[in-house]
């Protein structure tokens, strides 16, 4: 189970990817019963019913009726059925939906992207950067590694590799290219070219908006820097495993670091 929680904050009003508002839930699961037929005066001229007990009903400051600041009816800020209760289940309560239970942060957001489409989009983005970088390096005939062979105490050969000067320069260029590409495209509209081709986008978990500059940079750095520095085989596998096992948001480690999810656009 994922322990990620949506971060607080209000999305920009002009963001086209905001979550769609959810319809308010009806009814008050912990409020007072409806009034008897015949109006407040009763049927046939009967006297009105007695007032509610001192700690219950409508107006009770500690009960479950309407207006109670700790109640469950309309206007109760800690209630379960009021429209303005920040911890209630009525309309306007961000942690409720008509009753008990945590809200669904993905409510009003498009469906989460499946693994196959995310992987295909990532391969497209990888090729879009890797091919031009490889072509740029051809004129330089760059040999990145210095390979050293030493004789161990038991007569075994110990082979070590280290970056040459030009190889280190190209490594820095590659890291900058991958990170800047992912950062810029994500903060621009939530879509790299690969995601756009496969109708995917990156969204903030809390409100569905396009990630800002800081979360987009965090996401790109966690995604690419370990891959390019030391863990080209291991790190992508770690990201895939975390994405496949995370519930319910399908977040890989770079999603968790930035508090983002990947959703479909169709």
Query: 173 and 97 in one domain?
Result: no
Judge contact between 226 and 239, C-beta under 8 A. Answer: no
Query: 189 and 74 in one domain?
Result: no
Query: 216 and 127 in one domain?
Result: yes
Q: Reply yes or no on whether the pLDDT at 6 is more than 90.
A: no
- The whole-angstrom separation of Cα 2 and Cα 225 is 24
Residue 137: per-residue pLDDT: 83
**Predicted TM-score (pTM) of this structure:** 0.60
Asked, for residue 227, whether it belongs to a domain, the answer is yes
Please tell me which residue, 63 or 213, carries the higher pLDDT value: 213
Half-sphere exposure (Cβ direction) of 247: Cα atoms closer than 13 Å: 2
Asked, for residue 220, whether it belongs to a domain, the answer is yes
Total count of domains within the chain = 2
Query: 99 and 133 in one domain?
Result: no
CB-based contacts of 86, cutoff 8 Å, min separation 6: 77, 78, 92, 93, 94, 95
Mean pLDDT, residues 142-156 taken together: 60
CB atoms within 10 A of CB 225: 15
Judge contact between 202 and 191, C-beta under 8 A. Answer: yes
Q: Reply yes or no on whether the pLDDT at 42 is more than 90.
A: no
Mean pLDDT, residues 130-136 taken together: 92
Alpha carbon 158 to its chain's center: 46
Q: How many residues does the chain have?
A: 266
CB atoms within 10 A of CB 76: 30
Residue 203: per-residue pLDDT: 96
Judge contact between 261 and 250, C-beta under 8 A. Answer: yes
Residue 155: per-residue pLDDT: 54
Query: 124 and 82 in one domain?
Result: no
Range of the domain at 88: 48-103
Query: 174 and 69 in one domain?
Result: no
Query: 57 and 138 in one domain?
Result: no
Asked, for residue 40, whether it belongs to a domain, the answer is no
Instruction: Label residue 228 by pLDDT band (50, 70, 90).
Output: confident
Of the candidates 7, 8, 22, 20, the residue with the CA atom closest to the CA atom of residue 91: 22
Which of 43-52, 70-79, 236-245 ranks highest by mean pLDDT? 236-245
Mean pLDDT, residues 38-60 taken together: 54
Residue 65: per-residue pLDDT: 47
Asked, for residue 3, whether it belongs to a domain, the answer is no
Asked, for residue 7, whether it belongs to a domain, the answer is no
Query: 236 and 147 in one domain?
Result: yes
Please report the DSSP string for 58-125 in residue order: TT-TTSSSTT-TTSSSTT-TT-SS-TT-TTSSSTT-TT-SSSSS---TTTTSPPBPPHHHHHHHHHHH
Instruction: Label residue 84 by pLDDT band (50, 70, 90).
Output: very low
Query: 155 and 72 in one domain?
Result: no
Instruction: Label residue 79 by pLDDT band (50, 70, 90).
Output: very low
């Amino acid at each position: 189970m994922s322990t990620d929680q949506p971060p607080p904050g209000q999305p920009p009003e002009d963001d086209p990817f905001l979550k769609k508002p959810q319809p308010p839930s009806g009814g008050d699961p912990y409020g007072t019963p409806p009034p008897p037929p015949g109006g407040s005066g009763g049927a046939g001229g009967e006297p009105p019913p007695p007032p509610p007990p001192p700690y219950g009903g409508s107006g009770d400051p500690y009960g479950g009726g309407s207006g109670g600041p700790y109640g469950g009816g309309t206007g109760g800020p800690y209630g379960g059925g009021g429209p303005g209760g920040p911890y209630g289940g009525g309309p306007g309560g961000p942690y409720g939906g008509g009753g008990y239970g945590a809200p669904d942060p993905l409510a009003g957001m498009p469906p989460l992207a499946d693994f196959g489409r995310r992987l295909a989009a990532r391969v497209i983005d990888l090729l879009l950067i890797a091919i031009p970088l490889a072509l740029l390096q051809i004129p330089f005939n760059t040999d990145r590694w210095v390979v050293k062979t030493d004789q161990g105490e038991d007569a075994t050969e110990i082979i070590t590799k280290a970056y040459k000067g030009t190889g280190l320069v190209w490594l820095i260029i590659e890291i900058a290219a991958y990170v800047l590409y992912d950062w810029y495209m994500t903060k621009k509209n939530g879509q790299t070219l690969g995601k756009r081709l496969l109708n995917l986008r990156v969204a903030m978990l809390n409100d569905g908006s396009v990630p800002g500059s800081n979360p987009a940079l965090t996401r790109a750095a966690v995604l690419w820097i370990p891959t390019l520095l030391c863990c080209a085989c291991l790190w992508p596998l770690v990201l895939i495993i975390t994405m496949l096992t995370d519930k319910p948001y399908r977040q890989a480690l770079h999603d968790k670091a930035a508090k983002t999810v990947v959703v479909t656009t169709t």
